[in-house]
Structure 1
Amino acid sequence: MRLTPIQKVQKISSRNFIENHMKPRFPLILDDFIDPGSPAFKKWNYEYFKEVAGSHKVNIYGSDIESLDRVASSPIGQSTFSEYLELISKTPTEHRLFLFNLLNIRPELKDDIHYNDVTGGKILKWLPFMFFGGEGSITRNHIDIDMSHVFITQFHGIKRIWLFPWEQSDLMYKLPYNFHSLPNIKDPNYREFPALLHLNGYEAVLKPGETLYIPSGWWHYIQYETEGYSVSVRALPSSLLEKWRGFKNMVVTRNFDNIMRRLFKEKWFRYKVRIARKRGARAARKQKSFLI
């Protein structure tokens, strides 16, 4: 597995971004996707969040590496927002808040973010999500089910994010009818999953104020190097193929997998693992043939 640092730019034009990154689906780190003068960078901190929404109940998510047969892991517990912020402030923990809707709970906070929209008006500013995590927590390698383009901005702490293009899905042993991969790519077992040796990905170490553009359909693995939080917004997929894939994933694939899992339980999961391994082996053989 090889990882290349992702290019970082400032003040890129919309035309440049759309033609050289959004249309060809190629990642980029933007220094000013959110205006550095936005009030959020001055006002927001854990104490402020405790003040405006500390009593709100939040679902806590843990490590989901081993939840291989589900599109999304189930919460492992619940606490108040204040209690959660206290926890991640004091100690490393795998506990995370996933797709947290603080900006919908307190809609006025959306006004604290001013975007430099390089997509030409395609981002859904009204649909932001927040992600909080403790030091060392991770989000398993996955693709987003709706196939949207994602812009994730770090506000506090540091995240390490690995990206891999859709075309390498078989090399990652993608489970059929799911949206994540079979092996743990953070600690890869190349003997068991040799196709991982042929992966060519990208790495971003995201710091406060920086935004990572994750193209539609790209795999991403996320690790919190420190505790912290980020905000993501989405842009709908551009091509008809990407839109069809997103629709099919949400309406057909996900529901079909849920039905089959209820009917056949472990047998259905074993079938998917077998297919993922078979496709991975075939993809690895193709890579070797290119080298001959």
Structure 2
Amino acid sequence: MKERLELAEIPREKKISKKDFLERYVKPQKPVVIEQLIEDWPAYTKWNLEYIREVAGDKTVPLFDGKKTISSKYKFNEPHLHMKMSEYIDLIQKGPTSYRIFLYHLLREVPGLQKDFSFPKIGLRILKQIPMLFFGGENSKVFMHYDIDYANILHFHFHGRKRCILFPPSETKYLYKVPHALITREDIDFMNPDFDQFPALRKAKGMVTELRHGETLYMPEGYWHQMTYLTPGFSMSLRAAPRNIENLSKALYNLFFMRHFDNAMRRWKGQKWIDYKNEQAVKRTNKRAETF
């Protein structure tokens, strides 16, 4: 039998009180899936791909191709293509595609969607200005990464199924993190990793779950996450600022220095900079892993 990563199931709660959520998950910084957090939202019954086509089909949306991210041609989080939302929904309904919509503020473009949800009173100080939507077709993947702002994230899934793999920050030393970036090596298949090429992954301990329509995943500060759309679908994320002062300082560093430094190096060195970072990810991780 082929060797696989050590992935435990993310805990699940049907429903949970604010007190229990804070004590059992937010304070100890542990992820959880809440199955029945948003059943009172209009979005719970209304939001599917056909509804999005109806209310936002004429909007032009930015698309990201997972196959093109290892390239110096694009800046950090720069779209690879633009398309009408109705055309994109047609695309993902036809079959597998690598194109995704990533960090799109559709709620700003279509204000009426804001009437379909409310902010959960669950103990997090949610930043109400930036609800973001994410779309993907069958087999499209979001590379393993952690968020630039170290936010506490509530990730609500709609329409279809999505597999989510998480690693706590403590496992960073085994994940082949790319220097001056928020990602791991993008050629790692976390469901079927090549342990000969990436031996440190044997020591990494992560978690996995499969989200279905209406379920909510809580991801704590700085958690690594990789998403795979098992069917066409979309999700929305709400964010709360980091509670940990150290994580807040890391977020400020990422926002005001790291991403600008990386974009400048991409412009200056081109593909050589990308290749150098990927090489260093392997060298540094394998060297560190030998000491643990």
TM-score, normalised with respect to structure 2:
0.90
| 2:290 counterpart SS class | helix
Q: Residue 10 of structure 1 aligns with which residue? A: 14
Decide which of 28, 33, 36 is 2:37's aligned counterpart. 33
| 2:228 counterpart SS class | strand
- Give the superposition deviation at 1:65: 7.0
Q: CA RMSD in A?
A: 2.0
Gaps of 5+ in 2: none
- 1:20 equivalent to 2:24? Answer yes
Q: Residue 290 of structure 1 aligns with which residue? A: none
Greater mean deviation of Cα atoms: 171-180 or 270-279: 270-279
1:128-157 CA-to-partner distances (Å, cap 9, x unmatched) read 111111011001111111111111111111
Alpha-carbon contact 1:171-1:284 (below 8 Å) kept: yes
| 1:60 counterpart SS class | strand
| 1:220 counterpart SS class | strand
- Give the superposition deviation at 1:267: 4.1
- 1:58 equivalent to 2:61? Answer yes
- Give the superposition deviation at 1:47: 2.9
Instruction: Identify if the C-alpha distance between structure 1 residues 68 and 279 changes in structure 2 by more than 3 Å, giving closer, same or farther.
Output: farther
Instruction: Identify if the C-alpha distance between structure 1 residues 201 and 101 changes in structure 2 by more than 3 Å, giving closer, same or farther.
Output: same
- 1:104 equivalent to 2:119? Answer no
- Give the superposition deviation at 1:178: 0.5
Instruction: Identify if the C-alpha distance between structure 1 residues 19 and 283 changes in structure 2 by more than 3 Å, giving closer, same or farther.
Output: farther
1:36-70 CA-to-partner distances (Å, cap 9, x unmatched) read 02111222233332222211111222224752667
Distance in 2 (alpha carbons) for counterparts of 1:241 and 1:251: 16
Distance in 2 (alpha carbons) for counterparts of 1:225 and 1:44: 18
- 1:228 equivalent to 2:233? Answer yes
Q: Residue 242 of structure 2 aligns with which residue? A: 237
Q: Residue 269 of structure 2 aligns with which residue? A: 264
- 1:82 equivalent to 2:86? Answer yes
- Give the superposition deviation at 1:22: 1.4
| 1:190 counterpart SS class | coil
Greater mean deviation of Cα atoms: 143-152 or 185-194: 185-194
Greater mean deviation of Cα atoms: 235-244 or 78-87: 78-87
Gaps of 5+ in 1: 288-292
Instruction: Identify if the C-alpha distance between structure 1 residues 268 and 48 changes in structure 2 by more than 3 Å, giving closer, same or farther.
Output: closer
- 1:204 equivalent to 2:205? Answer no
Amino acid at match of 1:173: Y
Alpha-carbon contact 1:96-1:131 (below 8 Å) kept: yes
Q: Residue 152 of structure 1 aligns with which residue? A: 155
TM-score, normalised with respect to structure 1:
0.90
